[in-house]
Chains A and B, each alone.
Chain A
Amino acid sequence: MAKPNLAVNVAGIRMKNPVTTASGTFGFGSEYAPFVDLNRLGAIVVKGITLLPRQGNPPPRIVETPAGILNAIGLQNPGVDHFIEVALPYLRQFDLPVIVNIAGDTVEDYAALAARLDGVPGVAGLEVNISCPNVKKGGLAFGADPDSAAAVVRAVKGATRLPVVVKLSPNVTSIVRLAEAVVEAGADALSMINTLLGMAIDIRRRCPALANVMGGLSGPAIRPVAVRAVWQVYQALKVPIVGMGGIVTAEDALEFIMAGATAVAVGTANFINPRATMDIIDGIERFLVEEGVPDIQELIGAAHM
């Protein structure tokens, strides 16, 4: 069989394969450059960016749980101007669509970020984080309520011509309702899922294990929840989905694709295996060859029969 086609298109973001990185787990790319060939990634989603620099939460910021981790980084980042001046020029050297994950405390923050990044060379799209469980203001407050989520999306869409991917939280009663609200407000694509709100106790010190008390659960432990979310939203809406949550192997990634994801993002797995993204791309290609599937498109949503 000829080499299968792995290329996908997420709302205008053209990816040479469906594998991207989950925001916050791959820095700004340079950190993993000793281990991976950045040119081989379908796209990169960078660490969440805010208008002004943020210090983040005090340590400990991470704790291990069965097949997962809880993190409470608190969106530490150098701010959008520093990102554009320092991190982006580095990424522009590569043949790699850069998706910028943005977060704000107010609707105006999101709009200002979108405007600031509009037309900046090297930015292929925005991922709007309305779902971070680790910041007190904003974040989840927007992601949990369909009306405020829609307001953020309208403001972002009004401020940029870039494709807008909206990142949804699983910490809601109905992720489908949220998805409908943001798509109606203009979201070009959805990404899901962000981390699940969780907590761990240090029984020797008799206190919460994270300084921030609660944190976001990620890793293989959350994969079934994430696959379910992708399945439900694919069933309800015709919109490209970037699926993530506990993807460690190519088989995990294919589960998301068959549930309805056009692309997938690899997060916590990078910490276990710095080459995880490369191994997953290779594994997907091998699967297509083995199954005699000429084009990855055939598998998107294939489990919905």
Chain B
Amino acid sequence: MVADMPANIVQQEQVGPGQYRLTLYAPVIASCAVPGQFVYIRCTGSLDPMLRRPLSIHGVNRRKGEVLFLYQVVGRGTALLAAKRNGEQLAVMGPLGRGFTLPEPGQRVVLVGGGIGVAPLVFLGHELVQRKNQVCLLVGARSAHQLPVGKEGYTAPFELAVATDDGSCGHHGPVTDLLEKILAGEGADMVYACGPRHMLRQTASLLARFGVPGEFSLEERMGCGVGACLSCVCKTAGKGGEPFRYRRVCVEGPVFPADQLVWD
């Protein structure tokens, strides 16, 4: 069921430089959301900025009816969102989009998050642990203080490894180095990734090289969030001789099979 309704802010807390964790009381969304889905949030009551902002679901507490988000302030919309305080209301539409396909129970799964891209993967990780999957989350960031999760003190019920571009925490280099080591060693049955385009492209080529299936959560600029405006398209494999086909991130995605994506 998709809803559009006001949701109360239960908690808004800063977790890093420009990084926030937001908890909303949104029982309808909490009751039916699956990992990989997103919501479309109005950050302000005024008409400038006007559009809503898409945020992935970072976690749900079905018992309490709460939905969690992890977001980075990048522009006006997210800055307005960050200024909202506990008890204020936001209009939220969701859950939207198609989530991750879950692997067979028992399979070994690697999650690869670039920066704030870990947001949907943490929800997925929790779900997978409950399904008795073996889960390893790899997190990459520019430097230690920009790690959205994976800092000391962050507890997750799954294995965690960190990579930073400047070497200030964990592996010194891109997070895909860690993935490559796993794929070349113990291997994985399935890889899920979310993060910047260059990271996803690199992940896609590793998956192709090692013959491992994967799914990526993509971002594109959105208008309606429900498939009506055709703003949010990404290039995917075409059928019968077409070089590619545009698919809508908001309804056919945001999660796509890695081997279906066309990079150019």
Contacts and interface: CB of A to CB of B under 8 A. Distances in A.
B171 to A, nearest CB: 29
A275 B226 contact: no
A56 B245 CA distance: 10
B50 A272 contact: yes
A67 B222 CA distance: 16
Contacts of B232: 59, 61-62
Task: Tell me the dominant secondary structure on chain B's binding face.
Answer: loop
Interface size class of B (residues with CB under 8 A): 20 to 34
A68 interface: yes
A34 B2 contact: yes
Interface in A136-193: none
Nearest to B228: A27
A73 interface: yes
User: In which size bucket is the chain A interface?
Assistant: 20 to 34
Contacts of A26: 228
A272 B47 contact: yes
A32 B4 CA distance: 11
A25 B230 contact: no
Contacts of B255: none
B229 A62 contact: yes
Interface string B209-221: 0000000000011
Interface of B: 1-2, 4, 42, 47-52, 91, 93, 220-234, 245-246, 251
15 contacts: A27-B224, A31-B251, A32-B226, A32-B228, A35-B226, A59-B246, A61-B232, A62-B221, A62-B232, A64-B50, A67-B47, A67-B50, A76-B246, A274-B226, A275-B4
Given A59-B221, A61-B232, A71-B231, 12 more contacts: A27-B227, A32-B228, A60-B220, A61-B221, A64-B51, A66-B48, A67-B48, A73-B229, A271-B51, A271-B52, A272-B50, A275-B4
